[in-house]
């Protein structure tokens, strides 16, 4: 028998979330962000389901190769752009678009003699201070790009928010102002908003929005799950109970004895662990769903297994299904118990997790 650990991808939820984004986007086009294997949901699978996306945003050329090999015809934007001069030929061959965030990328383009124009988006550092040209450098970068025969003259402008999940955050307001001051001087399509900005900063919409998390039904907004905004989780992570053991009062559970039984009690053992991508940092008390009802994890998450307090689950039987996250148990809630965000959890499924698709 193969391991019971299984990630079910809900294709209907992906479709629903995309339609919900269409409603929120108004006239803006949607660049569906599918980096990190579509946030762990499967790049080709998600691209196939989101066939109405106006473009896809990926992290690297390799993702573009996979999408083209899968027959994807939409525009594809590589969000960090070319990494070396040799990438330019491959971008052309695959018909990919490049973010341009650094002068070194312009130097590579200037030294390249391919006559075909590459579509590019200038990344503006409006305040996050990760990638992008400083505000005073943008006009110069644009002039240099416009002078190159191998750059398409319809140059886009892009920026990324550091804190848009806090809806009254002053930094996001300042980033929008910074971007708009620059963009007012330049023609071309504009794109600012990630998922949280789509929800909380409608004034930042631009011609293109770039949602990732919301496509998968995951919220980046603290203490709010995506369901609160009308989105549906697209992944259920599940496994099953493989043992139920009676353990005596005062006995420790698991590595490092971090949890001690307060009474004689049943401990359930579930076939999932950090070797599958379930976070080792999930503390005692993190809930799972056992036959649709919550049960708390007790003791450390180990590589292959977790242990549950079954005191409220007298009806539990070996083989019962256990859900680690999904529509009835938001991954955002599990992330809080593990001191991370839902994005990291869904991105972290390892190769031994079996993926199945469900139309719902
Ligand atoms: C990841 C990413 C996005 C999508 O962010 P979400 O919070 O998942 O919506 C958008 N733009 C850029 C540049 C990104 O790197």
> Is-above-0.85 flag for pTM?
yes
pLDDT at 257: 97
Query: Please, which residues have CB within 8 angstroms of residue 223's CB and are 6 or more apart in sequence?
Result: none
Per the structure block, which two tokens stand in for 105?
Answer: 């990328």
Distance 53 CA to ligand 1 centre (A): 15
Query: 164: closest CA among 214, 121, 236, 118?
Result: 214
Q: pLDDT by residue (tens digit) across 260-300?
A: 999 999 999 999 999 999 999 999 999 999 999 999 999 99
Query: 75: closest CA among 59, 88, 64?
Result: 64
Indicate if ligand 1 lies below 6 Å from the C-beta of 220: yes
Q: How confident is the model at residue 1 (pLDDT cuts 50, 70, 90)?
A: low
CATH class in words for 11-218? alpha beta
CATH fold label, 235-358: Lyase, Ornithine Decarboxylase; Chain A, domain 1 (2.40.37)
| DSSP run (H or E) holding 307 | strand 306-309
Mean model confidence pLDDT for the chain: 97
> What is the rounded distance in angstroms from the CA atom of residue 203 to the CA atom of residue 111?
39
Average pLDDT over residues 78-86: 96
Per the structure block, which two tokens stand in for 354?
Answer: 């079996």
> What is the rounded distance in angstroms from the CA atom of residue 201 to the CA atom of residue 227?
18
Q: pLDDT by residue (tens digit) across 131-163?
A: 999 999 999 999 999 999 999 999 999 999 999
Ligand 1 atom at minimal distance to the Cα of residue 158 = 13
Distance 89 CA to ligand 1 centre (A): 26
Indicate if ligand 1 lies below 6 Å from the C-beta of 217: no
Per the structure block, which two tokens stand in for 239?
Answer: 């496994």
35 classed as catalytic = yes
Q: Where are the domains of the chain?
A: 11-218, 235-358
What is the DSSP code string of 82-107?
Answer: -SSTTHHHHHHHHT-EEEE-SHHHHH
Indicate if ligand 1 lies below 6 Å from the C-beta of 210: yes
Indicate if ligand 1 lies below 6 Å from the C-beta of 209: no
Using left for φ > 0, alpha for ψ between -120 and 50, and beta otherwise, residue 271 falls in beta
């Amino acid at each position: 028998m193969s391991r019971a650990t299984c990630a079910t991808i809900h294709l209907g939820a992906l479709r629903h979330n995309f339609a919900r984004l269409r409603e929120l986007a108004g006239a803006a086009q949607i660049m569906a962000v599918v980096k990190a294997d579509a946030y762990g949901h499967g790049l080709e699978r998600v691209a196939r389901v989101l066939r109405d996306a106006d473009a896809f945003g990926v992290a690297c050329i390799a993702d573009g190769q996979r999408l083209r090999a899968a027959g994807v015809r939409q525009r594809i934007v590589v969000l960090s752009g070319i990494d070396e001069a040799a990438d330019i030929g491959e971008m052309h061959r695959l018909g990919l678009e490049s973010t341009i965030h650094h002068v070194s990328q312009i130097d590579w383009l200037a030294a390249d003699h391919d006559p075909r124009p590459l579509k590019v988006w200038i990344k503006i550092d409006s305040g996050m201070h990760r990638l992008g040209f400083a505000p005073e450098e943008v006009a110069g970068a644009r002039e240099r790009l416009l002078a190159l025969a191998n750059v398409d003259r319809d140059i886009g402008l892009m920026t990324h928010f550091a804190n848009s999940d806090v809806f009254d955050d002053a930094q996001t307001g300042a980033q929008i102002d910074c971007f708009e001051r620059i963009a007012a001087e330049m023609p071309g399509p504009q794109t600012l908003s990630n998922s949280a900005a789509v929800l909380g900063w409608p004034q930042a919409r631009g011609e293109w929005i770039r949602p990732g998390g919301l496509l998968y039904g995951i919220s980046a907004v603290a203490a709010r799950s995506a369901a609160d905004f009308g989105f549906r989780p697209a992944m259920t992570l599940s496994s099953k109970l493989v043992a139920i053991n009676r353990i005596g009062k005062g006995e420790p559970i698991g590595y490092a004895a971090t949890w001690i039984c307060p009474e004689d009690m049943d401990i359930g053992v579930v076939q999932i662990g950090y070797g599958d991508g379930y976070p080792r940092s999930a503390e005692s008390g993190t809930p799972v769903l056992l036959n649709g009802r919550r049960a708390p994890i007790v003791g450390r998450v180990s590589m292959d297994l977790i242990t549950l307090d079954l005191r409220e689950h007298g009806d539990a039987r070996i083989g019962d299904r256990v859900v680690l996250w999904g529509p009835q148990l938001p991954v955002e809630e599990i992330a809080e118990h593990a001191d991370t965000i839902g994005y990291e959890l869904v991105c972290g499924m390892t190769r031994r997790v079996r993926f199945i698709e469900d139309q719902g």
